[in-house]
Chain A
């Protein structure tokens, strides 16, 4: 028995399961990061003093530029697929993976710099919340890379068998990736600038 509404939309909602499913997942993600942002506020408001300027703005700004660029290439990968430009789709998806890896390399050097100065999570409350927020965000980046590599590799076979279903999957991946970018847009000023 086939799962209904994978490609075709339901008459009552105008949506297919993929889109509704990814949005409900993203809603739960909003609450997950929301809980951590809320924790950050509690810790910051309750602290007698809060360190500022502990993190390198250059590292943070560079990673912001990288993630914004990856969001553009991701949306272009989806748009190319919609326009039946298979080669362009693969190119943009590959660039997105490259930018995501670049983000992680940047993050690695940033972590290494702090660990070298013994600024680990137990150093103070600021670094505890910094590693928690950026670590969880980094895991989301890794998750996105795994999914995109799958669609560049074995998952790409679906494009020949069922192009519409493949396009829907890329759209869902894109929505997830833009959400990861959106979270960083808030993490950057909160952790690096304020």
Chain B
């Protein structure tokens, strides 16, 4: 986007997105007042945060119409980010170092 007239057309969109982000912030706080169960509260809060983040990235950071080299760099970042966020699950789910419970030998008694 470089044309002055083109940018003039986008000014309204910037204000609209700003207003929408504020509304979503209000919804996040309101949802918190409902005292939902923790898993549901996390899901709702993250869905709203991802929506807000996408709006910032797409409109304010102009990612909705960027060059393919930028998308390529970001795709690589997303892949590594997913790996990074998966690390905690590996610590929970791996069995390395977990003691194997071998049944104790039966006590035969006597000396």
Q: Could you tell me the distance in whole angstroms from the C-beta of A82 to the nearest C-beta in chain B?
A: 5
B32 touches A31 (CB 8 A): no
Docked Cα-Cα span, A23 to B92, in Å, equals 33
Q: Judge whether A178 is part of the interface by a CB distance below 8 angstroms.
A: yes
- Decide: A83 near B8, CB < 8 A? Known: A13-B69, A42-B91: yes
Is there contact, CB below 8 Å, between B67 and A14?
yes
Cα distance, A9 to B77, chains bound together (Å): 23
| Contact present for B76 and A27 (CB under 8 Å) | yes
Determine whether the beta carbon of B69 is less than 8 Å from that of A182. Answer: no
Contact B45 A193, beta carbon cutoff 8 Å: yes
Contact A42 B88 (CB under 8 A): yes
CB-CB < 8 A to B61: which residues of A? Answer: 175, 178-179
> Which chain B residues border A14 with CB–CB below 8 Å?
67, 69
Q: How large is the interface on B (under 10, 10 to 19, 20 to 34, 35 or more residues)?
A: 35 or more
Query: Number of residue pairs across A and B with beta carbons under 8 Å?
Result: 116
A79's partner among B14, B49, B91 (CB-CB below 8 A) is B14
Query: How far, in angstroms, from A46 to B2 measured CA to CA in the complex?
Result: 50
Inter-chain CA distance A190–B28, complex, in Å, is 11
A71 at the interface (CB under 8 A from B): yes
Indicate whether A61 reaches chain B with its CB closer than 8 angstroms. yes
Residue in chain B with minimal CB distance to A37 = B85
Report the bound CA distance from A37 to B84 in whole Å: 9
Chain A: residues with Cβ within 8 Å of the partner, total of: 46
For window 1-54 of B, CB contacts with A under 8 Å fall at 2, 4, 7-8, 10-11, 14-15, 17-18, 21-22, 25, 28-29, 32, 38, 41-42, 45-46, 48-49, 52-53
List A6-35 residues whose CB lies under 8 Å from chain B: 13-15, 19-20, 23-24, 27, 30-31, 34-35
Asked if B80 contacts A31 (CB within 8 A), the reply is: yes
With A14-B67, A75-B60, A193-B32 already in contact, the answer to whether A61 and B25 are too (CB < 8 A) is: yes
Known: A42-B88, A79-B11. 6 other contacts (CB 8 A): A20-B70, A34-B84, A37-B85, A186-B49, A189-B46, A189-B49
Question: Which A residues lie at the B interface, using CB under 8 A?
Answer: 13-15, 19-20, 23-24, 27, 30-31, 34-35, 37-38, 41-42, 45-46, 57, 61, 64-65, 68-69, 71-72, 74-76, 79, 82-84, 174-175, 178-179, 181-182, 185-186, 188-190, 193-194
- Chain B: residues with CB nearer than 8 A to chain A? 2, 4, 7-8, 10-11, 14-15, 17-18, 21-22, 25, 28-29, 32, 38, 41-42, 45-46, 48-49, 52-53, 56-57, 60-61, 67, 69-70, 73-74, 76-77, 80-81, 84-85, 87-88, 91-92
